[in-house]
A and B are shown apart, each in its own frame.
Chain A
Amino acid sequence: MKTKVTILIALAVVFSTEAIAQLEGTMPFMQSLPQVTYYNPAFKPAYKFSIGLPGSSVFIQVSNNGFTYNDFVSEKDNLLTADLAQLATTLRKKNYINLNAQADLLRFSLKANARLYLTFNATLKMYNRIMLPRDVVNFFVQGTEAYVNRTATLSPEIEMMNYLETGFGASYTVDKKLTVGAKLKILKGVVNATTERSAFNISLADNYGITVSADLDMRSSGIHNFDSSEYEIQDNWKDYTKNNGFAIDLGATYKLTDKWTVGASIIDLGSIKWKNDTYGYSMNPETANYTFEGVDLDEVLNGDSDYGESLADSIEAKFDYKEGKIGKYKTPLPTKVYLSGVYQIRKMFSAGGLIGIERFRGRWMPAFTASLNKEFGKRVGASLSYTVTNNSFNNLGAGLSLNFAPVQFYIVGDNVLRLPLTLASEKNLNPYVNNLQYFNLRIGLNFVFGRDKVQEKQPESKTDK
């Protein structure tokens, strides 16, 4: 057992040093919260009925896998100095910076019968990701010499997706061991910016000749209209109902033994078709390439006085940037897979492990969380977690739920535990912020009714009988 855990942790560390997760590590273990079904539709809320009003669950997540402030800013000679060379060594090949947010507009869950739970949620989701290649910084900070016989990739990638999710879910207890769940989500896209293709590569040859090649296919929906000063959103809001999409969540839990429960889920498997105000920005990779080896001596020796101008015209023609209206297009959702395992150490006290993998735009992004979860009676639930992600190992998370039915308050986050500790010791949050790569927090207030005691006593399957 110990060996398996060690291997699991090692794998998680390896994966997570290369990746970033837009995943939540602590929240899936907060079993007393109705929102736990967001991570596995087979999870069953702890209350027979709960309802969340607008603002009942607000989530914010900030992360980057590239650097912290302390990586390149330090005091030297009594001056606060930004050492860009140090920054360049810190960055990863691809640096993803995420700002994500969610807010429940309405949510409820209902235990329909001993086996069936029904859930509903209307949630506004915002997902923003920008990818900055390390070479963007390296190329300018370290200079071009480092790229002799190499290629610098300077193309950023932007993903922005705001949408309204309306989900209808159900969790069905098949037997004492197996519970399955699913959720159908109807999506309404609001705005989108996506990078289908993006390349801006610069190569240096032995002779320092610089070859630049570019490729671009960026699309947006619901953004370009705002370039016009005459555009009024209140007159055109119906346009923003045209972007339809669907997604599903699937999940299951299985009770291996009295103490071991494992779960697996796939979340947000779906896409949105964008039709409103679709606008594209493109560059043709067939022509967008040019090699500059310096001034052409042949032209100089031949006395071509227009050489400079013709050179500029030639480059401009090759890198002809086009923008304009485009047709409808489809983007996938960031799909997540959660594999969880919970070991019931004692009654009301468990340990859990979670591997979360997000796949979006061809990129796999795993994260690993280990947690300890304790129910202090019916009123207080708490979790402590440790998440390895973003190439950082100092993400101590915590969650706390206060259950004073019918009111339930909760606050859960990853890499939040250092926050009060830093504040207590340093009297400000600077040391915390300066080392911050990954942070998320979910906070809210639910109205809960009827603690489901049967949770601990699952119905038997027909075969059990």
Chain B
Amino acid sequence: MNLFTKRRTGIYLVTCVILSLWSCGEDIINTDDYEIDRVTANPSIALPLAYGSVGISDFLNTDDQENIKVYDDGLVYLFYEEKLVTRSVRELLSFPDKSFMKTYPVLGGFLPATTTENERLTVSSTESFAFDPEKLREIKFKEGTSLTFQYQFTPDDPFDDGDPSFDYFDILIELPDFTLNGVSFSERITTQSAPSVFSLEDYVATLDDNEFELKVTLIERAHDNFLVLPPSQVEVEMSFTSIDFQYVRGFFGDQTTGAIPAEAIQVTAFGDALSKSGVSFADPKVTFAVHNEYGIPTSVDFHPLEARKADGTSLPLVFDVPNPVQTSAPAELGEFSITNVSVVNAADLLDFVPEEFYYEVSSRINEGLTTGDNFCTDTSSLDVTMRVEIPLYGTASNIIMADTFEIDLEDIDNTEIETATLVSRVTNELPLNADLQFYLADEEYVIFDSLFAPNQTNIVKASTVTASGELDEPGVSITELEVSKEKMEKLFETKKLILKARMNTPVNASGDPIDVQFKSDYKMDVNFGIKVKLKLDVSLNED
């Protein structure tokens, strides 16, 4: 092939290629090949749903969270403490106003002028408050307690016209048994025109079974000559009013407080869960503590005292001591004494699963006594506190917890879901088995199906326990719950999803329940995930 021929061949080839491309024109690319009708994919989506580390406190009613306590060994217990309404013993010690009227003779005749004072008359007497049944030996008066004196000459002192310069007689009142900072009460009354009032605040009166000494002295002051018309006398009136005490000692008598209206303490632990379940606590404790600041032998009468349910059934509480309960009293003023009383049928009581404690309390002091050395202060109290201590140690069955969720899956094309699998991973240190079921309900809460088959619901395995009921090995359960297509379709029709958990403590080989302990560090670690296999077939044609 010569050079010319080669060149011509090359030019020809290039020309052919260019003409071929050119001749195709707009059809060089067939765009129909790129108008995709549909897109398909089969993704399998795994997603986490929920996780958490749940302790026993999370299962208890929210209202009872503040009542959850932990013993030193970690055992969780519920502790309820309620101060019962009691009638105050102090109310028994109320002292009425007390007045004393004394008349003393004043010799008549001419009184020569004098430049000095003279005691014309001194009279001492023993007086008594005559409180009943109290026999006081000492009382320290409180603010507001007052002592009023008034005297009257008969006939009237002719010179006493209200002008002190003509008033020749004064009255000196002395109460040696009433002292303030070691100084006896002593007051000189200089006028008879108006009562003289003195505060007894902080005075301490030392009495002898309510009695005290009164000393009255008539004092003649310096004066000019004058005549006292016979017969003459002076009347002295002494009144204790608004008697109140900071403390009081003595014997307060055999008295009973009035009955108070019955009271009830609500118990909300576990909500409704326990009431419908078989729960048995192995070692519950119910105690009553009487806190007494009165130095008085006191008995407390609980009548009635019982646990009640809403259905009207009740169970009386039985003490380990006879009722009324004799309480101890403090030995010294300012001290207190506590008397503890246990309820012997506490286990029965908790098994009864009460909703409230119903009680009525009264008290009695110095029962059957005629003498004694009692004391109390104005702030003394006698309180009765009920304590319920429920160690979470025992057995439980059929504890049911439920919650309802609103769902609306109408907008989702459920035909795209081929399968769905709920995956749960639970490491459970709690000695609780749990069955879980989702109930599918309509708008009116009418259940029309459940999500899982009956053999699928046991997704939480209890831990194993030692002979003492403590954790041995955690229960580990990994469960994949496949939801059938039929169930899925019903799920998409669901308006209310009701989650119901049924929990039981484990049983032994014989099927008998084992007493188990719930400790604060026992946790149930849960992870819930879902695996959904989708079949996507998306049409890209608008038609």
398-419 of chain A: CB within 8 A of chain B = 400, 402
Asked whether A80 lies within 8 Å of B39 as measured between CB atoms, the reply is no
Q: Choose one: B28, B48, B533; the contact of A423 (CB below 8 Å).
A: B28
Given A81-B40, A376-B7, A377-B3, the answer on whether A293 and B21 have CB atoms closer than 8 Å is no
Given A402-B10, A430-B29, the answer on whether A207 and B51 have CB atoms closer than 8 Å is yes
Q: Choose one: B10, B21, B50; the contact of A295 (CB below 8 Å).
A: B50
> Chain B nearest CB: distance from A314 CB in Å?
16
> Chain A nearest CB: distance from B18 CB in Å?
9
B163 at the interface (CB under 8 A from A): no
182-215 of chain A: CB within 8 A of chain B = 204, 206-210
Kindly supply a per-residue 1/0 record for chain A positions 375-410, scoring 1 wherever the CB is within 8 Å of any chain B CB and 0 otherwise: 011011010000000000000000010100000000
Which residues of the other chain, B, contact A147 by a CB distance below 8 angstroms?
46
Give the docked Cα–Cα distance between A402 and B49 (Å).
Answer: 69
Kindly supply a per-residue 1/0 record for chain A positions 147-175, scoring 1 wherever the CB is within 8 Å of any chain B CB and 0 otherwise: 11000000000000000000000000000
> Chain B nearest CB: distance from A373 CB in Å?
14
Given A377-B7, A400-B14, A429-B29, the answer on whether A292 and B40 have CB atoms closer than 8 Å is no
B323 at the interface (CB under 8 A from A): no
Which residues of the other chain, A, contact B36 by a CB distance below 8 angstroms?
73, 80-82
Asked whether B46 lies within 8 Å of A294 as measured between CB atoms, the reply is no
Which residues of the other chain, B, contact A1 by a CB distance below 8 angstroms?
none
Asked whether B52 lies within 8 Å of A298 as measured between CB atoms, the reply is yes
Stretch from A138-146, A218-226, A320-328, A352-360 contacting the other chain: A138-146
Which residues of the other chain, A, contact B44 by a CB distance below 8 angstroms?
142-146
Asked whether B41 lies within 8 Å of A208 as measured between CB atoms, the reply is no
Which residues of the other chain, A, contact B93 by a CB distance below 8 angstroms?
none
Q: How many A-B residue pairs have CB under 8 A?
A: 148
Which residues of the other chain, A, contact B46 by a CB distance below 8 angstroms?
143-145, 147-148, 204, 208
Give the docked Cα–Cα distance between A292 and B203 (Å).
Answer: 75
Chain A residues touching B, majority SS: mixed
A9 at the interface (CB under 8 A from B): no
Give the docked Cα–Cα distance between A377 and B9 (Å).
Answer: 12
A positions within 8 Å CB-CB of B: 69, 73, 79-85, 140-148, 204, 206-210, 292-298, 300-301, 303, 376-377, 379-380, 382, 400, 402, 420, 423-424, 427-430, 433-434
Can you list 5 contacts pairing A with B, beta carbon distance less than 8 Å?
A81-B36, A210-B47, A294-B47, A296-B51, A402-B10
> Chain B nearest CB: distance from A79 CB in Å?
4
Asked whether B50 lies within 8 Å of A297 as measured between CB atoms, the reply is yes
B37 at the interface (CB under 8 A from A): yes
Q: Which A residue sits closest to B53, measured CB to CB? A: A298
Q: Which A residue sits closest to B42, measured CB to CB? A: A85
B positions within 8 Å CB-CB of A: 3, 6-7, 10-11, 14, 17, 20-21, 24, 27-30, 33-54, 58, 62, 423, 425, 526-531, 533-534
Which residues of the other chain, B, contact A148 by a CB distance below 8 angstroms?
46
Given A73-B36, A81-B38, A144-B47, the answer on whether A423 and B30 have CB atoms closer than 8 Å is no
Give the docked Cα–Cα distance between A141 and B41 (Å).
Answer: 6
Given A81-B38, A207-B527, A376-B10, the answer on whether A142 and B43 have CB atoms closer than 8 Å is yes
Asked whether B49 lies within 8 Å of A84 as measured between CB atoms, the reply is no
Which residues of the other chain, A, contact B528 by a CB distance below 8 angstroms?
294
Asked whether B423 lies within 8 Å of A208 as measured between CB atoms, the reply is yes
> Chain B nearest CB: distance from A93 CB in Å?
19
Asked whether A140 lies within 8 Å of B62 as measured between CB atoms, the reply is no
Asked whether A296 lies within 8 Å of B52 as measured between CB atoms, the reply is yes
Q: Choose one: B6, B24, B34, B534; the contact of A143 (CB below 8 Å).
A: B534
Given A145-B531, A297-B51, the answer on whether A380 and B10 have CB atoms closer than 8 Å is yes
Asked whether A420 lies within 8 Å of B48 as measured between CB atoms, the reply is no
Which residues of the other chain, B, contact A400 by a CB distance below 8 angstroms?
10, 14
Given A297-B52, A420-B21, the answer on whether A433 and B29 have CB atoms closer than 8 Å is yes
Q: Which A residue sits closest to B538, measured CB to CB? A: A82
> Chain B nearest CB: distance from A208 CB in Å?
3
Which residues of the other chain, A, contact B6 by a CB distance below 8 angstroms?
376-377, 379-380
Asked whether B43 lies within 8 Å of A293 as measured between CB atoms, the reply is no
